[in-house]
């Protein structure tokens, strides 16, 4: 089945993770008339980060824990449910999920819906009948592993990675055979080369990534076994190079004094061969991460002008605050430009590829380091940007948060948090906690920006009609002009929005826009987890930055679908 | 005159002692040792079909809850055993907040001790095999102090952690409903 603009079969829309819809019915001129077509209550009240999928007249919705999968019949008035699949994940998994019990999406391929459960299973369900085709257990909650990411399905493989960078797990990515769910390969992101699937094909661009068993040698003895480097974000795929691209999470624990060294292969990008899993290159954007600056953010694949030619490139709005343009054939950094306020790093040395930290911002035990920008969730967290090839802009929903941090020795106890840091976050310069930036990757500067009061944890959607959609944590779903960022339409949802908006063509031939409202996740846990705002350190220090959120929204889990009147 | 003032002085001193004694923590240095077990089966429920009475508070409660040493040991263990990683300094995160007036599994110290020992089904691990009963009671006492249940002269006057939480002596006392078995 072609991945045309009528359907939306994977969270990133396509293997390039563009989040771009080619539909043109809804435009800046008529978006004012956008109204509700139907709604659907998912029956959950935890952070809703997943997008709906649309496949030939059926919409699929995967919920946060307990990970219900609904099929809604778009050919019927009001889109009634056809079936619901309940995978019944272990309740105990909720106790090892660092940042709410979220799920970032399902994927459709070849008649099946693939998704992960919080308790570490990958499941294939028949898209028509809603019956389970296979189920494979990959993660172990006893060790603190969960799975929250959306799988990527390509070349007959289902790619899945673990979560648990705050629990002292060892990060990995696995490929399952899409037909039967059997393990094809599994690559760890720490440890000896044979576990990381590093062999003769591994040709990183920078000298710092070259050498034997760096996944062992850049850690204190045995620390790599509990060193994080998980895969809870996004995977992109280049069908021509047959390479997958994904980022690795923070090293554990957060306390950097417990893990002297570069901590490979945490906080960087891997390119791997999809059929064998063998590593082709790696680039560590943040060596010896000091601040939980995971590098799991999306990689947007584009052709990028360098001199007179166009090269296959990766665009990465990084958590450390730099917007990276990279050559995706070899991992060379073409540009790394700040896209917000940074005081924890001076820049990126393009010769060595290394981030240049600011020494006085380095956390040390026995003191509290104040005003570190960007804070632990970075300049941008997991919520992906969208790329519109018609404007050439990357639309980045991101953060403007700084933090105070103190560190202390973390004890490793399997299945419990392994962090060793006390954090307190607050708004960065200007006082606004969120920013929506239209970034010009060629000019390497913002074209326009929208300041948002609350932190932005909603992904972006952009359309050929010339629009950009995103949501806010107090429940506004907005449409802005892709050219200048002018607010053209907005709708107040019943809960804050951190879900991924999509656009599709309905069975009636009309363009629809859909999003699920359901506040939660790391930033919204104060609402979905009923946390107490009097403790500034709660939820890893995030609560201090969003103390006002419980007055502005309530928990929910409601799908909203919009279209033009008539 | 002389003897009279002496008597009143003595009386006054006795009064001061008595007033002071009211708020002092109780330390029984030569009491019988307490049984080394956590009250298993201390249900968080308040409904007993057939009208059976709510079980009385475990007699060990006061020995831990009003004891500065137990509270400070509990505070240290709370950090060392990574309770802080889920519940932080009472505000919650992966686990629920502990400084408010809501108790899923009962807010009585024996109920909290039971939750720590046995674990709870939505993610609270069971600590029975990792900690002694004494340690579990100490943590339970510290947890109660987060919502201001412990006497102010028994709690620590400064936080152990490096950040900006208020000292325990400033903690507001939350209402824990009758029988301390409030649950919502």
Q: Dihedral of CA B47/B48/B52/B56: which sign?
A: negative
Q: Which pLDDT does position B60 carry in this prediction?
A: 87
pLDDT surpassing 70 at residue B23:
no
Q: Which pLDDT does position A312 carry in this prediction?
A: 98
Coil vs helix vs strand at A30: coil
Write the residue in B80, B102, B124 that is nearest to A95 by C-beta.
B124
Alpha-carbon span A525 to B92, nearest angstrom: 9
The phi, psi pair for A53, rounded to 5°, reads -110, 150
Alpha-carbon span A560 to A444, nearest angstrom: 35
pLDDT surpassing 50 at residue A354:
yes
- Tell me how long chain A is: 566
Task: Centre a 10 Å sphere on the Cβ of residue B57 and count the other Cβ atoms it contains.
Answer: 17
Q: Which pLDDT does position A425 carry in this prediction?
A: 97
Task: Give the mean model confidence (pLDDT) for residues B55-72.
Answer: 90
Q: Which pLDDT does position B182 carry in this prediction?
A: 37
Is A534 close to B88, i.e. CB distance below 8 A?
no
Q: Which pLDDT does position B26 carry in this prediction?
A: 57
Query: Which secondary-structure segment (H or E) carries B21?
Result: helix B2-23
pLDDT surpassing 60 at residue B59:
yes
Encode A378-398 in three state secondary structure: CCCCCCCCEEECCCCEEEEEE
Percentage, residues of chain A above pLDDT 90:
99
Write the residue in A97, A413, A422 that is nearest to B163 by C-beta.
A422
Is B93 close to A540, i.e. CB distance below 8 A?
yes
Please identify every residue of A annotated as catalytic: 166, 250, 292
More confident residue, B179 or B61: B61
**What are the tens digits of pLDDT across the range A370-383?**
999 999 999 999 99
> Tokens standing for A175?
């490929």
Q: Which of residues 141-170 of A touch B (CB under 8 A)?
A: 166
**What are the tens digits of pLDDT across the range A288-331?**
999 999 999 999 999 999 999 999 999 999 999 999 999 999 99
Residue of B nearest to A65 (CA): B122
Alpha-carbon span B128 to A57, nearest angstrom: 53
Q: Which of residues 367-386 of A touch B (CB under 8 A)?
A: 367-368
**What are the tens digits of pLDDT across the range A90-104?**
999 999 999 999 999
Q: Which pLDDT does position A99 carry in this prediction?
A: 94
Alpha-carbon span A215 to B23, nearest angstrom: 57
Alpha-carbon span A183 to A342, nearest angstrom: 42
Encode A474-492 in three state secondary structure: CCEEEEEECCCCCEEEEEE
Predicted-complex ipTM score? 0.95
Is B92 close to A531, i.e. CB distance below 8 A?
yes
**Reported confidence tier of residue A5, pLDDT bands at 50, 70, 90:** confident
Query: Which secondary-structure segment (H or E) carries A173?
Result: strand A172-177
Is A530 close to B92, i.e. CB distance below 8 A?
yes
Residue of A nearest to B121 (CA): A92
Alpha-carbon span A167 to B180, nearest angstrom: 33
Q: CA geometry: angle at A31 spanning A29 and A34, to 5°?
A: 150
> Tokens standing for A233?
């974000």
pLDDT surpassing 70 at residue B5:
no
Is B162 close to A422, i.e. CB distance below 8 A?
yes
**What are the tens digits of pLDDT across the range A499-525?**
999 999 999 999 999 999 999 999 999
Q: Which pLDDT does position B28 carry in this prediction?
A: 56
Q: Dihedral of CA A463/A467/A471/A475: which sign?
A: negative
* Residue A423 CB contacts under 8 Å (≥ 6 apart), including other chains: A375, A376, A403, A404, A405, A537, A540, A541, B163
pLDDT surpassing 70 at residue B39:
no
Is A408 close to B94, i.e. CB distance below 8 A?
no
Residues of B contacting chain A (CB within 8 angstroms) = 79-82, 84-86, 88-97, 99-100, 102, 121-125, 130, 161-165
**What are the tens digits of pLDDT across the range A165-197?**
999 999 999 999 999 999 999 999 999 999 999
Alpha-carbon span A295 to A344, nearest angstrom: 16
Is A537 close to B161, i.e. CB distance below 8 A?
yes
Q: Are A139 and A147 in contact (CB under 8 A)?
A: yes
Write the residue in B82, B86, B164 that is nearest to A536 by C-beta.
B164
**What are the tens digits of pLDDT across the range A367-426?**
899 999 999 999 999 999 999 999 999 999 999 999 999 999 999 999 999 999 999 999
**Reported confidence tier of residue B32, pLDDT bands at 50, 70, 90:** low
pLDDT surpassing 80 at residue A106:
yes
Q: Which pLDDT does position B48 carry in this prediction?
A: 79
Write the residue in B88, B124, B125 that is nearest to A535 by C-beta.
B88
Q: How far is B29 from chain A (nearest CA, A)?
A: 33
Q: Are A444 and A335 in contact (CB under 8 A)?
A: yes
Residue A66: HSE in the Cβ half-sphere, 13 Å Cα cutoff: 11
pLDDT surpassing 90 at residue B40:
no
**Reported confidence tier of residue B162, pLDDT bands at 50, 70, 90:** low
In sequence order, what are the beta bridge partners of A490? A478
**What are the tens digits of pLDDT across the range A205-263?**
999 999 999 999 999 999 999 999 999 999 999 999 999 999 999 999 999 999 999 99
Alpha-carbon span B164 to A535, nearest angstrom: 9
What is the per-residue burial (b if ≥16 Cβ within 10 Å, else e) of A426-440? bbbeeebbbbbbbbb
pLDDT surpassing 80 at residue B46:
no
Q: Which pLDDT does position A471 carry in this prediction?
A: 98
Task: Centre a 10 Å sphere on the Cβ of residue B52 and count the other Cβ atoms it contains.
Answer: 8
B-chain CB neighbours of A98 within 8 Å are 94
Taking only Cα atoms into account, the Rg of chain B, rounded to an integer number of angstroms, comes to 19
Coil vs helix vs strand at A352: coil
Is B164 close to A424, i.e. CB distance below 8 A?
yes
Residue of B nearest to A420 (CA): B85
Q: Which pLDDT does position B25 carry in this prediction?
A: 56
**What are the tens digits of pLDDT across the range A530-543?**
999 999 999 999 99
Residue of A nearest to B160 (CA): A408
**What are the tens digits of pLDDT across the range A488-502?**
999 999 999 999 999
**What are the tens digits of pLDDT across the range A19-58?**
999 999 999 999 999 999 999 999 999 999 999 999 999 9
Is A538 close to B130, i.e. CB distance below 8 A?
no
- Interface test with chain A among B86, B87, B88, B100, by most A beta carbons within 10 Å: B88
B-chain CB neighbours of A540 within 8 Å are 88, 93
pLDDT surpassing 50 at residue B88:
yes
- Interface test with chain B among A143, A375, A425, A538, by most B beta carbons within 10 Å: A538
Q: Which pLDDT does position B183 carry in this prediction?
A: 34
pTM (two decimals): 0.93
Q: Which pLDDT does position B181 carry in this prediction?
A: 46
Highest mean pLDDT (candidates A1-5, A218-222, B171-175): A218-222
Strand ranges (DSSP E) for A328-420? 332-338, 345-348, 355-357, 368-372, 386-388, 393-399, 401-407
């Amino acid at each position: 089945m072609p991945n045309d603009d009528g359907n939306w079969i994977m969270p990133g829309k396509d293997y390039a993770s563009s989040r771009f819809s080619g539909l043109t019915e809804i435009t800046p001129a008529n978006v004012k008339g956008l109204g509700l077509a139907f709604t659907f209550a998912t029956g959950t009240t935890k952070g809703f980060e997943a997008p709906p999928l649309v496949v030939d007249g059926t919409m699929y919705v995967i919920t946060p824990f307990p990970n219900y999968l609904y099929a809604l019949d778009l050919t019927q008035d009001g889109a009634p449910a056809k079936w619901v699949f309940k995978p019944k994940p272990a309740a105990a998994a909720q106790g090892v999920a660092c940042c709410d019990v979220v799920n970032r999406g399902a994927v459709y391929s070849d008649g099946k819906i693939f998704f992960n459960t919080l308790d570490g299973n990958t499941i294939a369900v028949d898209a028509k009948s809603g019956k389970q085709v296979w189920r494979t257990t990959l993660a172990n909650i006893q060790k603190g592993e969960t799975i929250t990411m959306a799988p990527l399905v390509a070349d007959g493989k289902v790619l899945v990675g673990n979560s648990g960078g705050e629990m002292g797990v060892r990060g990995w990515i696995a490929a399952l055979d899409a037909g039967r769910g059997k393990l094809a390969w599994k690559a760890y992101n720490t440890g000896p080369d044979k576990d990381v699937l590093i062999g003769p094909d591994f040709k990183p661009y920078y000298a710092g990534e070259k050498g034997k068993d760096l996944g062992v040698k850049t850690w204190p003895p045995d620390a790599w076994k509990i060193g994080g480097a998980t895969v809870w974000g996004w995977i992109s795929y280049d069908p021509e190079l047959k390479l997958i691209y994904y980022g690795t999470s923070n090293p554990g624990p957060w306390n950097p004094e417990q893990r002297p060294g570069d901590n490979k292969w945490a906080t960087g990008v891997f390119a791997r061969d999809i059929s064998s899993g063998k590593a082709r290159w790696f680039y560590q954007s943040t060596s010896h991460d000091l601040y939980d600056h995971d590098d799991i953010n999306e990689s947007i694949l584009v052709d990028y002008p360098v001199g007179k030619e166009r090269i296959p490139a990766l665009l990465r709005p990084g958590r450390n605050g730099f917007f990276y343009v990279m050559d995706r054939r070899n991992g060379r950094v073409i540009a790394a430009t700040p896209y917000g306020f940074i005081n924890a790093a001076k820049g990126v040395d393009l010769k060595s590829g290394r981030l240049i930290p600011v020494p006085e911002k380095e956390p040390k035990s026995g003191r509290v380091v104040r005003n570190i920008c960007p804070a632990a969730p970075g300049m941008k967290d997991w919520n992906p940007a969208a790329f519109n090839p018609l404007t050439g802009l990357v639309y980045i929903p991101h953060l403007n948060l700084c933090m105070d941090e103190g560190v202390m020795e973390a004890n490793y106890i399997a299945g419990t948090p392994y962090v060793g840091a006390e954090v307190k976050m607050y708004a960065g310069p200007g006082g606004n906690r969120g920013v929506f930036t239209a970034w010009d990757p060629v000019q390497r500067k913002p074209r326009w920006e929208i300041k948002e009061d609350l932190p932005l944890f909603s992904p972006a959607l952009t359309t050929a009609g010339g629009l950009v959609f995103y949501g806010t944590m107090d429940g506004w779903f907005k449409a802005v002009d892709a050219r200048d960022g002018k607010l053209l339409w907005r709708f107040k949802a019943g809960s804050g929005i951190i879900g991924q908006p999509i656009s599709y063509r309905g069975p009636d031939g009309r363009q629809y826009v859909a999003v699920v409202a359901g506040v939660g996740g790391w930033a919204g846990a104060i609402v979905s987890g009923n946390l107490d705002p009097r403790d500034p350190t709660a939820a890893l220090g995030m609560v201090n930055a969003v103390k006002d959120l419980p007055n502005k929204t309530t928990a929910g889990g409601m799908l909203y679908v919009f279209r033009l009147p008539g | 005159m002389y003897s009279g003032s002496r008597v009143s002085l003595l009386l006054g001193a006795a009064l001061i002692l008595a007033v002071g004694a009211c708020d002092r923590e109780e330390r029984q240095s030569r009491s019988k040792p307490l049984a080394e077990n956590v009250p298993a089966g201390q249900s968080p429920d308040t409904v007993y079909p057939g009208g059976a009475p709510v079980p009385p508070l475990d007699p060990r409660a006061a020995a831990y809850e009003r004891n500065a040493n137990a509270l400070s040991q509990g505070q240290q263990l709370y950090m060392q055993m990574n309770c802080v990683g889920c519940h932080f300094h009472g505000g919650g995160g992966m686990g629920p907040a502990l400084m408010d007036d809501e108790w899923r599994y009962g807010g009585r110290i024996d109920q909290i001790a039971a939750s720590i020992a046995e674990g709870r089904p939505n993610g609270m691990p069971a600590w029975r095999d990792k900690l002694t009963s004494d340690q579990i009671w100490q943590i339970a006492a510290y947890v109660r102090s987060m919502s201001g249940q412990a006497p102010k002269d028994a709690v620590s006057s400064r936080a152990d952690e490096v950040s900006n939480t208020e000292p325990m002596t400033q903690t507001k006392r939350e209402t824990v409903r009758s029988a301390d078995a409030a649950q919502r």
